[in-house]
């Protein structure tokens, strides 16, 4: 298995930690795409305002992507109200943790 032979894999015990690798890969792809866009602007002798406009569009895309769906530019979406707990669960005792004990024998 990969876990046994490659260094560093013994620290990744849950699939959720692999998100770091995919996030890094996506960030590198986004940086490569932005760099390619800026190189294309330089080759075509674009006006001086073109590079800041592309950078602004990229920042706007990142800012709107990080919000929620559906897109709400005025932030007028109301959060749903949380209903009160039912009366039947009001008298339930708090959870307890029962561990095996050693009686010293």
Does pLDDT of 32 surpass 90? yes
Q: What is the pLDDT of residue 29?
A: 94
pLDDT digits (tens, 9 = 90+) for 41-98: 778 777 878 778 888 888 888 877 766 666 666 777 777 788 887 777 767 888 888 8
Residue 55 CA neighbour count, 13 Å, CB half: 7
Does pLDDT of 15 surpass 80? no
Higher pLDDT, 84 or 29: 29
Tell if the pTM clears 0.85, that is, is over it: no
Does pLDDT of 14 surpass 90? no
Instruction: Give the total residue count for the chain.
Output: 105
């Amino acid at each position: 298995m990969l876990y046994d032979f490659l260094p560093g894999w013994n620290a990744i015990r849950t699939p959720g930690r692999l998100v770091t690798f995919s996030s890094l890969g996506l960030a590198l792809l986004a940086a490569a795409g932005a760099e390619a866009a800026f190189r294309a602007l330089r080759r075509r002798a674009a006006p001086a305002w073109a590079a800041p406009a592309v950078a602004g569009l990229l920042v706007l895309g990142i800012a709107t992507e990080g919000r929620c769906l559906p897109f709400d530019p005025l932030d007028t979406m109301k959060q749903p109200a949380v209903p009160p707990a039912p009366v039947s669960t009001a008298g339930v005792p708090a959870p307890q943790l029962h561990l095996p004990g050693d009686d010293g024998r």
